[in-house]
Amino acid sequence: MKNITCIAIDDEPMALLVIEQFCRRKGGITLRTFSEPQIGLEAIRKQKPELVFLDIQMHSVNGLEIADTLPRECIFIFTTAYAEYALDGFNLDAVDFLHKPFSYERFEIAVGKALRRINTFTTVVPESIVVKQEYNNVNILLSDILYVEALGNYVKIMRRSGGHVLTRNNLKSIYNLLPSDRFLRIHRSYIIALDVVLSYSHTKITLKGDISLPIGIQYASFVAKRLGE
């Protein structure tokens, strides 16, 4: 098994210790742990680990909010004592959900799922994505995507050629289909194409066509760094 990079975020030191011990037992995992969620999130953005273990109910922030801002390349597994969060976790495209206290055997199953997803990644860059609109599969060229907006249980993909496609999906799943060098998440409800950005401030961004969209507070520093590159 190839060595994978991993970050774990949990405000309970004992929970981090368990993950550390399990990773050591599994082998092939280079792990860094963080008890402060915001510091851990910054480390994820800088280091882009292949796998993230993320607690949900933490004192300073909800792990669901962190998961919603993770770089698209990050595969993550939720670890929590609150089973009622499981559905929310899977809606954010978590690879698995570990209910504390979990056994090594259950941990190994979750890591196995993560490894299979990692191994399916390909270096071939897609030129289009396929989404379902009602009962039809719709092929959308990446070059035709202006921005993507979350609307409840649906996602609206605005097209440069005019009109939009409405698909029953979540924004995280769509983001995972888009190449990170061409698209950017700026808000929990918006993804934009980078080549249509005209200007931006700390709170909003303007796209070609005089379209103004908000920048989420949690995304502001990341957006500024990305657009300032």
Query: Tens digit of pLDDT per residue, the chain (229 long)?
Result: 568 999 999 999 999 999 999 999 999 999 999 999 889 988 998 888 999 999 988 877 778 888 877 877 788 999 988 777 666 666 677 889 999 999 999 999 999 999 988 877 644 557 899 999 988 899 999 999 999 999 988 999 999 999 999 999 999 889 988 988 899 999 999 999 999 999 999 999 999 999 999 999 989 988 988 888 5
CA dihedral (76, 82, 85, 86) in degrees, to 10, reads 60
Of the options 2.60.40.10, 2.40.50.140, 3.40.50.2300, 3.40.50.300, the CATH number for the domain spanning 4-120: 3.40.50.2300
Peptide bond preceding 101: is omega within 30 degrees of 0, i.e. cis? Answer: yes
Residue 125's pLDDT is what? 59
Residue 86's pLDDT is what? 63
Residue 27's pLDDT is what? 93
Residue 10's pLDDT is what? 94
> Closest Cα partner for 165 from 185, 182, 148?
148
| Topology (CATH) of 128-227 | OB fold (Dihydrolipoamide Acetyltransferase, E2P) (2.40.50)
Range list of H helices, the chain = 13-26, 37-47, 63-67, 86-91, 104-120, 171-177, 220-227
Burial label for 183, CB within 10 Å (0-12, 13-18, 19+), is buried
CA dihedral (175, 100, 85, 156) in degrees, to 10, reads 10
* Packing angle of the helix pair 104-120, 13-26 (nearest 10 deg): 70
Residue 80's pLDDT is what? 86
pTM here is 0.60
**Every domain of the chain and the residues it spans:** 4-120, 128-227
- Cα(128)–Cα(115) distance, rounded to whole angstroms? 25
CB of 20 closer than 8 Å to CB of 35: no
**Beta strands 154-159; 145-151: pairing state:** antiparallel
